[in-house]
Amino acid sequence: MAWNEPGGNNKDPWGGGGGNRNDGPPDLDELLRKLQQKLNGLFGGGSSSSAPESGGKFPWVPALIVVAVLYGLWGFYQVDANESAVVLRLGKYHSTEGAGLHWNPPIVDHVEKVNVTEVRTERTTGQMLTEDANIVEVVLTVQWHIDDAESYVLRVRDPLKSLQEATDSALRHVVGSASLNGVISQSRTQVSADTQERLQEYLDLYQTGIRIDVVNLTDAKAPREVQDAFDDVTKAREDEVRFRNEAQAYANQVIPVARGRAQRILEEAEAYKTQVVELARGETVRFEKLLQEYQQAPAVTRERLYLDTVQEVMSNTSKVMVDVEGGSNMMYLPLDKLAERSADSSSKRGEKVSPAVIEEVSQRVIERLRSEVNNNRRGGNIR
């Protein structure tokens, strides 16, 4: 028979029989109700005695707990490896966070994440005036990245617009300081480097937080309206360069030859100078010796000089004129004719008359004449 059936004496197997409920296990609903009453008392929800009557009110505590949990979870955020997060607390800069998981109180803090590793490209084009008052069309590309997240987010209202305006200003300044030919062909690399340097100065001055990686002058040409005239000028300059190179090549060929000839002439002149000086010195020495001989024997020396002079003159001529004292005619010895006759006779015999033979004949004639002159002088016939 069950404990709650009639006759069972209302015996509770857990010892709760007899209507004494204080002896049984605690009631879970009762415990929750008591906890709610206590929390309501702490948050102004009324006394514990009235809790049973307020069982239909909104459950503030669980709701607050849930809200707190959601609020806490809401504050977590993830920063990627290529990003930096700028944290603003109540509208003011608080910190810059790097890669990783972070938490900030939502609503109080505002997080602005920017990609600091992405290389971005900005392109600008336009017509500009060069230093030599010519118009040139240029196309410029700028590669940049964010170097300072705080400055990029907070210091400038529109960093991209600032970058565009700074690029245009720097490019116009550099192009305006260069010639048209330099911008188009010769100094394009220098124009790019100068533009990058000046552009970075502007961006640092504005505190944009942007770092310029590369500035490339991709295209530079004359405007379409003057392209034909510009092509003519370019062709003329190319011709100028070509002619100049040809002239330089000709100069490189001629100048060494001329320098060689000049050096040879200088050396010959120097040799001639040395020869003349040495001959003059020799003549001086000979004259000094002759002077000494003349001082010792003037007549003999004078006679010797006369004979030497006659011998020298006679040795260099093929004609001899002999003045005979008392004679009406001057004797003429045609040595040249004699030599020619001797040459003809020799040629008829198949022999060639050499200069040595002619010289020998001349010497014999001179010796013969000299002996006759001496004989006549001793006889007083020839002066």
Does 176 reside within a domain?
Answer: yes
**How far does Cα 72 stand from its chain's mean position?**
60
- Is the CB of residue 141 less than 8 Å from the CB of residue 163? no
3-state secondary structure of 14: coil
Give yes or no: residues 130 and 89 share one domain. no
User: Which of 188, 223, 258 finishes a domain?
Assistant: 223
* pLDDT tens digits, one per residue of 254-305: 999 999 999 999 999 999 999 999 999 999 999 999 899 899 988 888 888 8
- Is the CB of residue 219 less than 8 Å from the CB of residue 140? no
* pLDDT tens digits, one per residue of 16-70: 444 444 444 556 677 767 766 766 665 555 444 444 444 556 677 888 888 888 8
pLDDT for 225 equals 82
Give yes or no: residues 127 and 184 share one domain. yes
Spatial separation of the C-alpha atoms in residues 137 and 149, rounded to whole Å: 35
Does 230 reside within a domain?
Answer: no
Give yes or no: residues 125 and 106 share one domain. no
- Is the CB of residue 143 less than 8 Å from the CB of residue 225? no
Closest CA to 226 of 131, 128, 130, 136: 136
Element (H, E) at 31: helix 28-42
Question: Which value, to the nearest 10 degrees, does the dihedral of the CA atoms of residues 39, 40, 42, 44 take?
Answer: 170
Residues of the chain with pLDDT under 70: 1-28, 32, 35-36, 38-58, 317-354, 373, 376-383
Give yes or no: residues 95 and 150 share one domain. no
Does 379 reside within a domain?
Answer: no
Does 294 reside within a domain?
Answer: no
3-state secondary structure of 169: helix
Neighbours of 218 (CB within 10 A): 12
Please provide residue 323's backbone torsions phi and psi, each rounded to the nearest 5 degrees: -95, 115
pLDDT for 262 equals 96
Does 264 reside within a domain?
Answer: no
Give yes or no: residues 105 and 149 share one domain. no
Does 157 reside within a domain?
Answer: yes
Give yes or no: residues 133 and 108 share one domain. no
Could you give the number of structural domains in the chain? 2
Neighbours of 310 (CB within 10 A): 14
Give yes or no: residues 124 and 218 share one domain. yes
Does 23 reside within a domain?
Answer: no
Spatial separation of the C-alpha atoms in residues 64 and 60, rounded to whole Å: 6
Does 367 reside within a domain?
Answer: no
Spatial separation of the C-alpha atoms in residues 207 and 159, rounded to whole Å: 9
Give yes or no: residues 148 and 83 share one domain. no
User: Which of 175, 198, 223 finishes a domain?
Assistant: 223
Instruction: Give me the residue label for tokens 């109080």.
Output: 108
Give yes or no: residues 99 and 150 share one domain. no
137 vs 140, 172, 175, 345, 355, CA distance in Å? 10, 11, 10, 98, 88
User: Which of 223, 248, 273 finishes a domain?
Assistant: 223
Give yes or no: residues 104 and 139 share one domain. no
pLDDT for 266 equals 96
Q: What is the CATH number of the domain that holds 162?
A: 3.30.479.30
8: its two tokens: 């069972």
Structural domain harbouring 101: 74-115
